[in-house]
Amino acid sequence: MFDTYTSLDDSNHSQPRVTALLACHNNLMPVSWHMPISKSPFRYAVAVREENYTHKLLQKHRSFTLNFLPFEHYETVNLLGKIHGDSEDKLTRSGLQVEGWDNHQNLLLGASDFIYECEVCDTYENGDHTVFVVDVTKIHVNKKQSKKPMLFSGCGRYATLGQETIAEQSL
């Protein structure tokens, strides 16, 4: 038995997605509309709404980092999703610790479970978002990776994994 809708807003259904903080220079923006699209070379795609300040920054700088924070930071991420970098210093508001910067002056956040350094290689204008296709040039994995990824289901709903199982590997 299903209820059927024709728009995402109307359906309001829970669709858990891994969430990251996209850092372009010192500006932090939560993103959950992103996915891997090629293994070798490792390429990734992120959808950014045109009205966001980050969209302007990405067009100018053509690079960013994706900082995958553990679940415990969901309140900070939620706050950063409500404010805009052209009117607020979001790094200061976040209180997050800076581990350093990549070669393009994009932030690396120490609390991340892992971080992707990304360089834009293509863009695709699509509906109300632009898809930024990137080469992932470096992957930083925290030695203390939490195994509690932050999942975002829309409308302020956050969750994490309850149980992780390793299935038998194919030969």
Ligand X SMILES: Cc1cc2nc3c(=O)[nH]c(=O)nc-3n(C[C@H](O)[C@H](O)[C@H](O)COP(=O)(O)O)c2cc1C
Catalog residues that contact ligand X under the rule CB under 6 A: 19, 27, 29-33, 47-49, 52-54, 77-78, 81-85, 129, 152
Give the nearer residue to ligand X in terms of CB position, either 30 or 149: 30
E strands, the chain, are 17-18, 20-24, 27-31, 34-38, 43-49, 63-68, 98-101, 107-109, 114-126, 129-141, 151-152, 158-159
Give the nearer residue to ligand X in terms of CB position, either 128 or 168: 128
Minimum gap (Å) between residue 129 Cβ and ligand X: 6
Give the nearer residue to ligand X in terms of CB position, either 15 or 103: 15
Minimum gap (Å) between residue 94 Cβ and ligand X: 11
Minimum gap (Å) between residue 21 Cβ and ligand X: 9
Give the nearer residue to ligand X in terms of CB position, either 9 or 168: 9
Residue 6's alpha-carbon distances to 10, 34, 156, in angstroms, are 7, 22, 22
Q: Are 48 and 58 in contact (CB under 8 A)?
A: yes
Minimum gap (Å) between residue 13 Cβ and ligand X: 16
